[in-house]
A and B are shown apart, each in its own frame.
Chain A
Amino acid sequence: MTSIHIKNGFVVDPGQGIHGDKKDIFIENGKIVKSLTHAEKTIDASGMVVMAGGVDIHSHVAGAKVNVGRNFRPEDKMQSTYEPYHGIRHMAGGTSVPTVFKTAYAYADMGYTTVIEAAMPPLYARHTHEEMRDTPILDEAALPMFGNNWFILDYLKRGEIENAAAYAAWLLRATKGYGIKCVNPGGTEAWAWGLNCLSIDDPVPYFDITPKQIVSGLMEVNESLHLPHSLHLHSNNLGNPGNYTTTLDTLKLSEGIKPNNNFNREQVLHHTHIQFHSYGGTTWADFESKGKEVMDYINNNPTVTCDIGFVTLDETTTMTGDGPFEYHLNKLNHLKWANTDVELECGSGIVPYVYSKDVYVCGVQWSIGLEMALLAKDHMRCHLTTDHPNAGPFWRYPRVMKWLMSEKARNDVLASMKNEDKVRDRSTLGSIDRELTLYEIAQMTRAGPAKALGLSSSIGSLTPGMQADVAVYPYNPETESDPEKIEWAFSHAKYLIKSGEIILNDGELVSNGNKKTYWVDVTTKPNRQVERDIDRTFVKYYTVTKNNYEVTEHEFMKNPCAVKIDAVQ
């Protein structure tokens, strides 16, 4: 592995509190080091921004629903031409649901090195891992879904937190998952009865449990297992006018729960794509932003983190484990709809969607995301995502950065909308003149997500001793004034180094890197009851045997990286 000296760049690193000072970064044996006696490679970063590799806390890039999205949208591939293979680049294509190769290359071009697949149906864990294995460059992890799992519903209904935790530990091990994901708690299960849970008190049919019990229970389970990441929650009532009350009710469930981990994680609840959950009004006619109300709560409660899910005003493919929501969306736009029920575990749906800036609801949705990010007081707890591909494809992150960093860029978009006045009227975005700094962008895209994931001791910063993930962007913060340059520069990283290996050299892809997959190996007390429950349930209800269910490291994973935790009290 080469030793590298990155000279004279504007270093932006919230991990060390560096606000764009001209500094040198040294890399040796895959780690950031304080100094080097001799560098085999020197990169002149004069006039460029140097940051840690980007960390995406919530993206849908691998697994069953992504693959169905690719299958049922051939027209998505037509919108961006397939690039033939050249050099070490494999053939790559797709627009909102790109191939695994294009996913990796597009993230690398943006200077990202770590991506979390945010929804893994446990039953399809093997498939998810196979796709992640075939995604080069990026370090990845997947979050298995727990919010509608029959075991969890049964244990939590009876208040058996210890059994739920033992099962969760087993499932994380069996699926090689990284944390506890919960999508529309109880609602997706209710959907199997043609129902939904729109508030945290709606009972789940048959199980007779409420979303409130599921969310509280899973937070307790998460902390009793000392997991690196907190509960990763997509709460009930996504995407509906007036849903912000459900969101606030849900966020309040985190009060009184204390983080319990050795990973420097301070939150007990990560609420994902909060933009979709901050809507006021009663119908689409009086639809309006309640972004301020929700962000006020988050600002005042340090044990909650969120990512935004910015709407990027693109044509895209929505896909979520929230099956009933996708049915509802299909009833709104009448395009294609795919849906599945994953046996005892979860479900999902997929619908193409066009966020048009001429449709006022889309304009307001766009405003809400930006408004919330600009109202956030602590960008370590407010992360940049588009809930790819739901609110827009991930390769639009640089465009979102432009909007966040330039009031002019935002006003240009507002001015180009057919319903400009109405959109301005329904959110406070137009009155916000705040422009985020590169430091705040680095908090939103690296330091913050790394910390929320419990990975801040190795990624998200350029502190000596950390994994050497470094991105160099051709952007000079002292001389640039054109907002367009922000978008261009952050989608064209000049250099990208991952674990000390040069991936992009002067903009050219030169290596597919040495990607790894994180997973959590948590040991709990032996629990004969849960072991028996698992064995019996597989025999009785599952269509696969336990042996055909579990993911083995050597078969399904490339460079598995187990985070070992002893949760035996």
Chain B
Amino acid sequence: MNTVTITIKKQPDLYLEADCFTPDALAGKKADEIKELPVFIGKTVEKIGDYFTVSGEAGPTAAETHLIFNGDLTKVKYIGAKMSAGEVVVNGDADMYVGSWMSGGTIIVNGSVGHFAATAMSGGNLTITGNAGNYLGASYRGDWRGMSKGKITVKGDVGSDCATFMTGGEIEIGGNVDVHVMTHADGGKVIIHGNAKSRLGGQASRGELYLFGTVDVMMPGYAQAGETELTVGGTTAVFTIYEGDHGERHPTRKGQPIYAKLYLKK
């Protein structure tokens, strides 16, 4: 596996949209070629070399390419967006759309990310050691096809509207989460180790949500359905099960309706 190291040397005045910052787009390219690639800033097109120092060489394919980003990337969008393979490490904070539409490979962010990370993710692994913004692992605006596969791990806190329209995959949150989790979900799994505010699983028809902390306000559409002992995220605990959202249409299996399930630690 070949490594390319990209370090920010100048902060852009406006936000920089670098949808070429993926192993797929950089595979087979040398540092000098990468420096010449276009990036978008507002309505202008500039070069990667204007803002970043680039060293190393990419592998012949995305899977053999390892990208390392260094510095303050809070004004850089689309790192790892649409990647299908390979590895990306971000040493610093990044802006919106990290790993959005990613279908494979691994992204590790040693820092925090902005909003819309892992939008409609369909595979791969995304790990964030800091916090994530709103709409983590959610569907694109208006779309009914959210995260379908893969795994997202956030060590810190997550903003609102996480896992909207999730259909599969897993999100594990180490810290607290803001309102609206798994809205409209039709599958998938979200584990929250910290506290939640409200509207967990609103309008969800399938999927599982595990909460270790507290929730300020429960959804009225969920009904208690017993309790169970489970090992989740390496921790064994007794959970109260809630089924719902009863305000939503539910598919059936063998005549029995399938519900989304909320597991609240007792």
Does A75 lie within 8 Å of B249, measured CB to CB?
no
Q: How far is the CA of A336 from the CA of B144 in the complex (A)?
A: 9
Among B43, B141, B249: residue with most chain A CB under 10 A:
B141
Least CB distance, A433 to chain B, in whole angstroms? 39
Residue of B nearest to A72 (CB): B142
Q: How far is the CA of A73 from the CA of B43 in the complex (A)?
A: 25
Residue of A nearest to B205 (CB): A334
Residue of A nearest to B139 (CB): A75
Does A74 lie within 8 Å of B140, measured CB to CB?
yes
Residue of B nearest to A334 (CB): B249
When A and B form their complex, what is the total count of cross-chain residue pairs whose Cβ atoms lie within 8 Å? 19
Does B142 lie within 8 Å of A73, measured CB to CB?
yes
Q: How far is the CA of A73 from the CA of B144 in the complex (A)?
A: 10
Interface flag for A335 (CB, 8 Å): yes
Interface flag for A78 (CB, 8 Å): yes
Residues of A close to B139: CB separation below 8 A: 75
Least CB distance, A167 to chain B, in whole angstroms? 40
Interface flag for B143 (CB, 8 Å): yes
How would residues 111 to 148 of chain B score, 1 for a CB under 8 Å from any chain A CB and 0 otherwise?
Answer: 00000000000000000000000000001111110000
Residues of A close to B140: CB separation below 8 A: 74-75, 78
Q: How far is the CA of A76 from the CA of B141 in the complex (A)?
A: 10
Residues of A close to B143: CB separation below 8 A: 74-75, 78
Q: How far is the CA of A335 from the CA of B142 in the complex (A)?
A: 10
Among B139, B141, B143: residue with most chain A CB under 10 A:
B143
Q: How far is the CA of A506 from the CA of B186 in the complex (A)?
A: 50
Q: How far is the CA of A335 from the CA of B249 in the complex (A)?
A: 12
Residues of A close to B43: CB separation below 8 A: 84
Does A335 lie within 8 Å of B144, measured CB to CB?
yes
Q: How far is the CA of A222 from the CA of B249 in the complex (A)?
A: 46
| Interface size range of chain B in the complex | under 10
Residues of B close to A73: CB separation below 8 A: 142
Residue of B nearest to A335 (CB): B144
Residues of B close to A74: CB separation below 8 A: 140-143
Residues of A close to B142: CB separation below 8 A: 72-76, 336
Residue of A nearest to B141 (CB): A74
Q: How far is the CA of A159 from the CA of B142 in the complex (A)?
A: 47
Least CB distance, A78 to chain B, in whole angstroms? 6
Q: How far is the CA of A188 from the CA of B139 in the complex (A)?
A: 34
B140-182 interface with A by 8 A CB criterion:
140-144
Q: How far is the CA of A75 from the CA of B119 in the complex (A)?
A: 12
Residue of B nearest to A75 (CB): B143
Residue of A nearest to B145 (CB): A75
Residues of B close to A72: CB separation below 8 A: 142
How would residues 226 to 258 of chain B score, 1 for a CB under 8 Å from any chain A CB and 0 otherwise?
Answer: 000000000000000000000001000000000
Q: How far is the CA of A74 from the CA of B142 in the complex (A)?
A: 5
Residues of B close to A76: CB separation below 8 A: 142
Least CB distance, B27 to chain A, in whole angstroms? 21
Least CB distance, A335 to chain B, in whole angstroms? 6
Among B43, B139, B140, B142: residue with most chain A CB under 10 A:
B142
Q: How far is the CA of A76 from the CA of B142 in the complex (A)?
A: 9
Q: How far is the CA of A457 from the CA of B2 in the complex (A)?
A: 68
Residue of B nearest to A352 (CB): B144
Q: How far is the CA of A335 from the CA of B144 in the complex (A)?
A: 8
Least CB distance, A280 to chain B, in whole angstroms? 29
Residues of B close to A335: CB separation below 8 A: 144
How would residues 66 to 77 of chain A score, 1 for a CB under 8 Å from any chain B CB and 0 otherwise?
Answer: 000000111110
Q: How far is the CA of A74 from the CA of B249 in the complex (A)?
A: 24
Q: How far is the CA of A336 from the CA of B139 in the complex (A)?
A: 14
Least CB distance, A141 to chain B, in whole angstroms? 31
Least CB distance, A155 to chain B, in whole angstroms? 42
Least CB distance, A81 to chain B, in whole angstroms? 11
Q: How far is the CA of A74 from the CA of B144 in the complex (A)?
A: 11
Q: How far is the CA of A73 from the CA of B249 in the complex (A)?
A: 22
Residues of B close to A78: CB separation below 8 A: 140, 143
Least CB distance, B257 to chain A, in whole angstroms? 15
How would residues 323 to 347 of chain A score, 1 for a CB under 8 Å from any chain B CB and 0 otherwise?
Answer: 0000000000011100000000000
A62-96 interface with B by 8 A CB criterion:
72-76, 78, 84
Among A73, A78, A84: residue with most chain B CB under 10 A:
A78
Least CB distance, A269 to chain B, in whole angstroms? 38
Residue of B nearest to A84 (CB): B43
Residues of B close to A334: CB separation below 8 A: 249
Least CB distance, B185 to chain A, in whole angstroms? 14
Residue of A nearest to B119 (CB): A78
Residues of A close to B144: CB separation below 8 A: 335-336
Residue of B nearest to A76 (CB): B142
How would residues 76 to 94 of chain B score, 1 for a CB under 8 Å from any chain A CB and 0 otherwise?
Answer: 0000000000000000000
Q: How far is the CA of A43 from the CA of B140 in the complex (A)?
A: 46
A527-564 interface with B by 8 A CB criterion:
none
Residue of B nearest to A73 (CB): B142
Q: How far is the CA of A249 from the CA of B46 in the complex (A)?
A: 65
Least CB distance, A239 to chain B, in whole angstroms? 21
Residues of B close to A84: CB separation below 8 A: 43
Residue of A nearest to B101 (CB): A78
Can you list 17 contacts pairing A with B, beta carbon distance less than 8 Å? A72-B142, A73-B142, A74-B141, A74-B142, A74-B143, A75-B139, A75-B140, A75-B141, A75-B142, A75-B143, A78-B140, A78-B143, A84-B43, A334-B249, A335-B144, A336-B142, A336-B144
Instruction: Name the 7 nearest CB pairs between A and B, nearest first.
Output: A75-B143, A74-B142, A75-B142, A74-B141, A75-B140, A73-B142, A78-B140
With A73-B142, A75-B139 given, can you name 5 additional A-B contacts, CB distance below 8 Å? A74-B140, A74-B143, A75-B140, A75-B143, A336-B144
Residues on A lying within 8 angstroms of B by beta carbon are: 72-76, 78, 84, 334-336
